[in-house]
Amino acid sequence: MTRADGFWTVFVREVRAAIRTRAYLGLLAVLAAALFGVARAGGGPAGGYVPTVVDLLVVVEVLVPTVAFAVGYRAIADPAARGELDVLETYPLPSWAYVGGVYAGRSAVLLTLVGLPLAALGVQVATTAGPETTVFASHRGVDSPLLYVRFLALTLWYALIALSLAFVLSALAGSRGRALVLALAGLLVVTVGGDVAVFAGLDGGLVTSETLGGALAMTPAGAYRGLVFDQVLYVAVPGRSAFVSGAVAVGSLLFWWVGSLVATELVTDTR
């Protein structure tokens, strides 16, 4: 078995296991109900793409990492508890191929859970909003489906980054009980802990008004939020510029994404 064969074997196993897991259907239903409910409470998709993004942004910042951690918090801890990682040492399967296969399989599940309801909501906007939302924006001040596609793409990337963070905590846990505790702590840090730390630094003088945007971009949620404002919301608002540097935000998200996966592989390799 080649390394590529091992990767695809693990990937297919994860996807098949997900298909048999009814809990994922429950997650999909809950997420869809929450997103459509929030959009309706904010005035409904008939308002357009950008108003819908405004309504969803805060909720997505919390719900998407929650779903990602639910999908990934036991991904490495369960095999470690069952002794599967020890057995894999007798096979020509490097740890990176195993971690990559598990991550790819769980990513497919996560992208489906997050992407389907958001895409369905975009379809509803397209079929219920006014004619001005059908224009593809080439300049500021125009609502556009392209802006919603950007929001969808950024949200899916944010989900993958949250999943990678869940993976490294799962690898560190080594047992189901500790995996749950670390997942809850990690979820709290990702969703609100970063912003709290930044504003505590602002209050204590460690962060200034000039460096606030950069400090916020160092957190996954802050970087995601900054990119949504930069690439979606402020594009449709004349005269507004992003508070967080897009380049810094992208670099921060890449660091968390790649760094978490590398750390997961290193921890798994030492077990």
Cα 81 to Cα 76, 217, 233: the distances in Å are 9, 36, 45
Return the residue matching tokens 């005269």: 239
Give the pLDDT score at 4: 73
Return the closest-CA partner of residue 154 out of 266, 253, 8.
253
Bigger pLDDT: 247 vs 62: 62
List, for residues 86-99, the tens digit of each pLDDT value. Answer: 676 667 678 888 89
Rounding to the nearest 10 degrees, give the CA dihedral for residues 27, 29, 32, 35.
Answer: -70
List, for residues 241-259, the tens digit of each pLDDT value. Answer: 666 777 889 999 999 999 9
Give the rounded percent of residues in the chain with a pLDDT score beyond 90. 51
Return the residue matching tokens 């979820």: 187
- Average pLDDT (142-148) is 83
Give the rounded percent of residues in the chain with a pLDDT score beyond 70. 87
Question: Looking at the predicted structure, is the pLDDT value of residue 141 above 60?
Answer: no
Q: What is the mean pLDDT of the chain?
A: 86
pTM of the model: 0.90
Question: Looking at the predicted structure, is the pLDDT value of residue 140 above 60?
Answer: no
Query: How many CA within 13 A on the CB side of residue 231?
Result: 22
Question: Looking at the predicted structure, is the pLDDT value of residue 269 above 90?
Answer: no
